[in-house]
Structure 1
Amino acid sequence: MQQSNKVQKMAILVAATFFMENLDATVITTAIPNIAKSFSVNPQDISVGISAYMLALTIGLPASGWLANRFTAHRIFSMSIVLFMLASLLCALSTNLTMFTLARLCQGLAGSLMVPVGRTVVLSRTEKQNLVNTISILVWPGLIAPVMGPVIGGFFAQYLTWHWIFVLNIPLGFIALFYAFKLLPKELPQIRAFDGIGFVLCGLGLLLFVYGLEMISHSQKSIWISLSIVLLGCVILTMACYHLTHITNPLISLQAFSKRTFRTMFFGGSLIRIALSSAPFLLPLMFQVGFGYSPLTAGALLLALFVGNILFKLINTPLIQRFGFRNILIINGIILSASFILCAFFTEQTSIITMIIVLFLSGGARSIQFTTLNTLGFSEIEKSEVQSANILSTLAQQLNNVLGIVLGALFLFIASCYHDHNKTVLSVEDFQFALLMVAGLTIIAMIDFITLPKNAGDNVRGIK
């Protein structure tokens, strides 16, 4: 029992750092005009700061496992918190766009080590019967931070200055550092050869893939150049997969893909996460551009998602214990799809109360689906496979976050072309079309869930 309580405390610590990392990916979006004015540049130029952060988050991930083994998880986790704090301070002190971008790169690199290393420590010490509760703690930042980020960023930008967005990380970092020294176990280093070829292939492939996706989301960039970069990234990642499966000590083991439950979390789950990532992008735009709501009203409506995420956490574990993973993924997946369809039928005449109810239920369905998928993915993973499985899972989540925004923007573009090729201003119908396409992604994911074995994940429910 004492060991279980300590693991739970470590899970809360890692979740808090995950919240910091995820928050910084979205928090500056509403403060972009203020930051641009401070640096005397155009608002669209600040997007390089967002891209730099996302790219650095992805590139450092493949090496996190080897670094944790070589220098111990306790040291790497603590060092990454310190680096994240220093980079946040540099962001706040930035006087020009170049300094700001370099500081964001450092922030992203720190985050790419901080969260996966911490999650590996927690998951490798979690007994199967406690996996649902532990995953429930670990995943909440991924649901809440994208919703809270624009609200917090807008508050600081409007009532204080944008600098406080990054200053906030410093006291949070000191608290996390204190508990890291107190909770994380001290272990001996594990010496093994570094897979340099694997690191170069994974890093370069991910860099090109994510950068190409980022370029697609910016309308001023050439779509063909962007797609070419994405394709080149895919080719290099294919080479990386071949390399990782043909050497003795790969940088990342792909053994987890031999488990059906992990494959479902990775592939079917990716479609769900892409859909969930697109909602915080599409809904505020629809409320402001389509309905003419103020930024404050649009942000306040999204808080209904936040409340649903939190409250439905309370029933997540009992639901899984009672109905099983496959049934929950199918039934809750239908509810999630229905919530996106209902959002697509919002109009200027729809009452605020109706919107809040739909968004609240959607937030609850998001919470249940996210936790269920992540728990199922690790249900058959052995302790020796946790590190690589966790890195692969984290990589998928980072890529899904980028794809959610890219596909959301792409659906809007397709809708505007369909409704009027000469249109320069998005209409409510464009957002409705995009949300229906997002609902379609969740429906496609159902194929993966329906074909799951009925007893999938029963070992973590205490059923033999």
Structure 2
Amino acid sequence: MDKKTTIRVSLVVAIAFFMQFLDTTAVNTAIPVMADAFATDVVHLSTGVTSYLMALAIFIPVSGWIADRFGTRKVFCGAIAFFILSSVLCGTSQNLVQFVVYRIMQGMAGAMMSPVGRLAVLKVTPKEELPTAMNYITIPALVAPIVGPLVGGYLTTFWSWRWIFYLNVPISIACILLAWRYIPEEEPRKGRTAAKKPFDWGGFVLSGTALAGFMYGVELFSKANVPYWVSLSTVLGSLVVLFFNVWHSGRTAAPLIDYTVMKVRTYAITIWVGSVSRIVIGAFPYLVPLMFQEGFGLSPFESGLLFLSTMVGNLSMKSATVWIIRHFKFRSILLVNGFLVALFTLFTALLLPDTPVWIIVVTLFCSGLVRSMQFSSLTTLAFADIAERKMTSANTLYSTVQQMSTGMGIAVGAVALRFANLIDGGVAGHYTVPDFRLAFIFVAAVGFLHLFGYTLLRPSAGNAVRIRKSGK
């Protein structure tokens, strides 16, 4: 495929990703108002958020099998259409039960949209153009968590929380039209190909149980009224089931999740070590707005405006990301930039309510720069040395792990904050600036310590996507 096709498909997928991530983060802002509308409390309404995440976890592993059988373009467009339907239904919800059911439907659609969208990009992108393509589709994961609360807050305050869901409709329709126009139709498979492989029901039950349990356990860590042993037991039990899923996969001819891709060294490092990086990155947008509101006493709107400087940093780095990947080895980028991610996390711990605004803005801007670089580099390196026949399996596993590590980022931030509050002798649920300082120091320490894992990368790691072929 030519470069224009790669860019077009990447932009279409990026729009879909942005819509999905924006919807997820905007809903969190509207929870108190929605609870009043449904005549319930925020604790019960949070099941709408949990149910969405669990549906994602259960159905993401199925996405690769469905895409192989029915075609990437058809599944991607079908998932967006189902997302439209479920979004409209969410907006028309009259009670909590309806909302939870419709959010599960949204999660099922999202579970197809994200991994299949990335797969569409991978299938049309030559290795040497992978940095450019991954640069485009990683923007939504970094920008949407920052813009989402502002959009959600605005719509909830001046319109209605229902418009958070109705907003998805015109964007989704545009995505379907663009996707059908620019994502190439795959040629029908012939003979005994992956498109005819049987569905792995055993793997589906095991992976669904493990991943849903894991995401639920992670979600429990953020609940102040849930004992730690309940959350930890749920997560550990899920990991045991996941171990059996890996065991099952090795003894199945056509596993739902093919773990043999972990034999590729660069891919394995982006899974194991990269997950810790994503946890450190994911804890930041959870802790910073909370610190501004709880610790600094700012309003949600003021907090959102300050945090926008992180988004500006994210977007500013995008123009330099591809150049940096072309000129420096992945090993050096991940080590040096990873150090900077941890360093600016540590700098955030030093911010105080009376810190000049320009210092806060510069700190968040620089943090946005390095978070963006790390995220894009990891996503690019993950698929650099994967053979084309293994791309679907690698994408399915990567999407699953990325979803888990994103949830873990919030959990680590929540647990660090609760422990900091306990160490400082504070009142449970009432966090102070010293609590946030300790939480950021802990996250920064994790960021520094895990960098050792990137030293295991060979200097030549990812050269297949770094170095352009002659004549191109």
Task: Give the TM-score band, short-chain normalised.
Answer: over 0.9
Give the corresponding residue for 2:165.
166
CA RMSD, 1 decimal: 1.4
Give the corresponding residue for 1:100.
99
Give the corresponding residue for 2:54.
55
The answer on whether the counterparts of 1:132 and 1:375 sit within 8 Å (CA) in structure 2 is yes
Query: Is 2:144 the counterpart of 1:119?
Result: no
Q: How far apart in 2 are the matches of 1:362 and 1:229?
A: 33
Q: Which residue, 430, 436, 439 being the options, matches 2:435?
A: 430
State the 1:463 CA deviation.
7.4
What amino acid is the match of 1:338? L
Q: Which residue, 205, 210, 223 being the options, matches 2:210?
A: 205
1:305-454 paired onto structure 2 within 5 Å? 305-420=310-425, 425-454=430-459
1:241-287 deviation per Cα after TM superposition (whole angstroms, max 9, x unaligned)? 01111222111211221111111211111111111111111111111
Give the corresponding residue for 1:214.
219
What amino acid is the match of 1:221? V
Q: How far apart in 2 are the matches of 1:39 and 1:422?
A: 30
State the 1:177 CA deviation.
0.8
* Structure 1 stretches lacking a partner, 5+ long: none
Give the corresponding residue for 1:4.
3
Q: How far apart in 1 are the matches of 2:429 and 2:196?
A: 58
Give the corresponding residue for 1:279.
284
Q: How far apart in 1 are the matches of 2:310 and 2:159?
A: 26
1:189-220 deviation per Cα after TM superposition (whole angstroms, max 9, x unaligned)? 62211111111111111111111111222122
The answer on whether the counterparts of 2:224 and 2:429 sit within 8 Å (CA) in structure 1 is no
What amino acid is the match of 1:130? E
**After alignment, is 130-139 or 70-79 more displaced?**
70-79
State the 1:455 CA deviation.
1.7
What amino acid is the match of 1:416? N
Cα distance change, pair 423–131 in 1 and its aligned pair in 2 (3 A):
closer
The answer on whether the counterparts of 2:258 and 2:397 sit within 8 Å (CA) in structure 1 is no
State the 1:423 CA deviation.
5.2
1:173-192 paired onto structure 2 within 5 Å? 173-187=172-186, 188=188, 190-192=195-197
The answer on whether the counterparts of 1:269 and 1:445 sit within 8 Å (CA) in structure 2 is no
Q: How far apart in 2 are the matches of 1:421 and 1:358?
A: 27
Q: State the SS of the aligned residue for 1:399.
A: helix
The answer on whether the counterparts of 1:128 and 1:460 sit within 8 Å (CA) in structure 2 is yes
Give the corresponding residue for 1:243.
248
* Structure 2 stretches lacking a partner, 5+ long: 190-194
1:345-386 deviation per Cα after TM superposition (whole angstroms, max 9, x unaligned)? 001110111000010000000111111111111110111111
Q: How far apart in 2 are the matches of 1:92 and 1:423?
A: 34
Q: State the SS of the aligned residue for 2:138.
A: helix
1:135-150 paired onto structure 2 within 5 Å? 135-150=134-149
State the 1:115 CA deviation.
1.6
Query: Is 2:230 the counterpart of 1:231?
Result: no
What amino acid is the match of 2:135? S
The answer on whether the counterparts of 2:317 and 2:372 sit within 8 Å (CA) in structure 1 is yes
TM-score, normalised to structure 1, is 0.97
1:105-133 deviation per Cα after TM superposition (whole angstroms, max 9, x unaligned)? 00010010112112112102211110110
Q: State the SS of the aligned residue for 2:459.
A: coil
Q: How far apart in 2 are the matches of 1:424 and 1:374?
A: 36
State the 1:318 CA deviation.
1.0
What amino acid is the match of 1:149? G
Cα distance change, pair 422–134 in 1 and its aligned pair in 2 (3 A):
closer
Q: How far apart in 1 are the matches of 2:271 and 2:154?
A: 35
**After alignment, is 346-355 or 242-251 more displaced?**
242-251
Q: Which residue, 303, 308, 321 being the options, matches 2:308?
A: 303
The answer on whether the counterparts of 2:12 and 2:179 sit within 8 Å (CA) in structure 1 is yes
State the 1:225 CA deviation.
2.5
State the 1:421 CA deviation.
5.8
1:168-192 deviation per Cα after TM superposition (whole angstroms, max 9, x unaligned)? 0000010011112212222326221
Q: Taking every aligned residue pair, what percent have the same amino acid on both sides?
A: 36
The answer on whether the counterparts of 1:25 and 1:54 sit within 8 Å (CA) in structure 2 is no
Give the corresponding residue for 1:14.
13
Matched pairs, number: 463
TM-score, normalised to structure 2, is 0.95
Q: How far apart in 2 are the matches of 1:237 and 1:92?
A: 35
1:393-438 deviation per Cα after TM superposition (whole angstroms, max 9, x unaligned)? 1111111121111111100111111110655521100001111111
The answer on whether the counterparts of 1:415 and 1:430 sit within 8 Å (CA) in structure 2 is yes
Q: State the SS of the aligned residue for 2:196.
A: coil
Q: How far apart in 1 are the matches of 2:299 and 2:327?
A: 43
What amino acid is the match of 1:459? A
State the 1:224 CA deviation.
2.2
Q: How far apart in 2 are the matches of 1:327 and 1:177?
A: 39
Give the corresponding residue for 1:261.
266
